[in-house]
């Protein structure tokens, strides 16, 4: 991660905030966060500030394209360049298959698909203009889910949006390969997060995994940082599935 300028969308909490902290520990040089919660974004930047690193945050409703572009450019202008964009922002509104409402669809599509798309476009336009480091001008990592590849009737609208993220990842990777921009996704199975604990389905995660437990967030974050870090110079358009064996169970 040495000398890396990293921007995390949805970095104010959960996996995004953990990524910011771990990236600092692994040598990242600059950290930016885009989040709807300004206070949370600022708090997540504290580990970087404690080490005297340049930081920037911006508030953004990622469902709105112009807001995404403005937020991205505000951070890019402050940090100078963005080497890696990580799209972490998503919602997980569980609802039985036959009870999904229009409002459920609109919210899930707006954040999980449209938001990811808008931020990717903003990143590509920025990265196309910057000088490459070696053969790579930039990297984009999208958080997908193993639910994109398996039946998930308890949360079909979420699974559908993550399948769309996989598709977007492949399309963008193909489109920007000529520019030296690498685009991949990391698709975890269930994580033992505070949200999972609050919603009460940790036991369900454990039963679904051959390892008998959900992933600890750092176990997923490491793969995100690896995929978005300087050691990745060739992989693009791929889906890194980190499921504890759930994908074949």
Q: Classify the phi-psi angles of 20: left when phi > 0, otherwise alpha if psi is within -120 to 50, otherwise beta.
A: alpha
Q: Supply the pLDDT for residue 203.
A: 82
pLDDT for 207-242, tens place per residue? 888 999 989 999 999 999 999 999 999 999 999 999
Q: Specify the CATH architecture of the domain 5-189+218-242.
A: 3-Layer(aba) Sandwich (3.40)
Largest CA distance in the chain: 51
All residue ranges of the chain with pLDDT < 50 are none
Q: What is the pLDDT of residue 249?
A: 74
Residue 32 · residue 88 · CB < 8 Å: no
SS3 186: strand
| pLDDT at residue 205, rounded to an integer | 78
- Looking at residue 1, its pLDDT comes to 76
22-57 burial, b if ≥16 CB within 10 A, otherwise e? bbbeeebbbbbbbbeeeebbeebbebbeeeebebbb
Q: What is the mean pLDDT of the chain?
A: 95
Q: For the chain, how big is the Rg over CA atoms in Å?
A: 17
How many other C-beta atoms can be found within 10 angstroms of the C-beta atom of residue 169? 26
Catalytically active residues are: 158
Q: Assign residue 95 a region (left: φ > 0; alpha: ψ between -120 and 50; beta: otherwise).
A: beta
What would the DSSP string read from start to end of 23-68? Answer: HHHTT-SEEEEEES-HHHHHHHTHHHHHTT--EEEEE--TTSHHHH
Burial (Cβ within 10 Å: 0-12, 13-18, ≥19) of residue 128:
middle
What is the pLDDT at residue 82?
98
**Domain ranges within the chain, ordered by starting residue:** 5-189+218-242
Residues 79 and 135: beta-carbon distance below 8 Å: no
For residue 133, give the 3-state DSSP assignment: strand
């Amino acid at each position: 991660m040495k000398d890396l300028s990293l921007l995390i969308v949805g970095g104010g909490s959960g996996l995004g905030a953990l990524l910011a902290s771990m990236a600092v520990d692994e040598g990242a040089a600059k950290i930016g966060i885009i989040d709807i919660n300004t206070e949370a974004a600022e708090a997540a930047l504290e580990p970087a500030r404690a080490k005297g690193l340049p930081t920037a945050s911006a508030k953004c409703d990622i469902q709105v394209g112009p807001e995404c572009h403005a937020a991205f450019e505000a951070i890019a202008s402050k940090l100078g360049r963005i080497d890696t964009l990580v799209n972490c922002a998503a919602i997980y509104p569980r609802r039985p298959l036959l009870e999904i409402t229009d409002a459920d669809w609109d919210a899930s599509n707006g954040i999980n698909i449209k938001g990811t798309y808008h931020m990717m476009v903003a990143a590509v336009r920025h990265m196309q203009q910057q000088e490459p480091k070696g053969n790579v001008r930039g990297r984009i990592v999208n958080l997908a889910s193993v639910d994109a590849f398996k039946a998930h009737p308890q949360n079909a609208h979420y699974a559908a949006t993550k399948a769309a993220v996989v598709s977007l990842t492949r399309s963008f990777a193909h489109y920007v390969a000529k520019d030296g921009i690498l685009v991949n996704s990391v698709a975890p199975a269930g994580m033992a997060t505070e949200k999972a604990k609050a919603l009460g389905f940790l036991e369900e995660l454990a039963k679904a995994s051959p390892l008998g437990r959900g992933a600890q967030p750092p176990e997923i974050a490491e793969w995100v940082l690896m995929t978005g870090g300087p050691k990745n110079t060739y992989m693009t358009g791929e889906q890194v599935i980190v499921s504890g064996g759930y994908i074949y169970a």
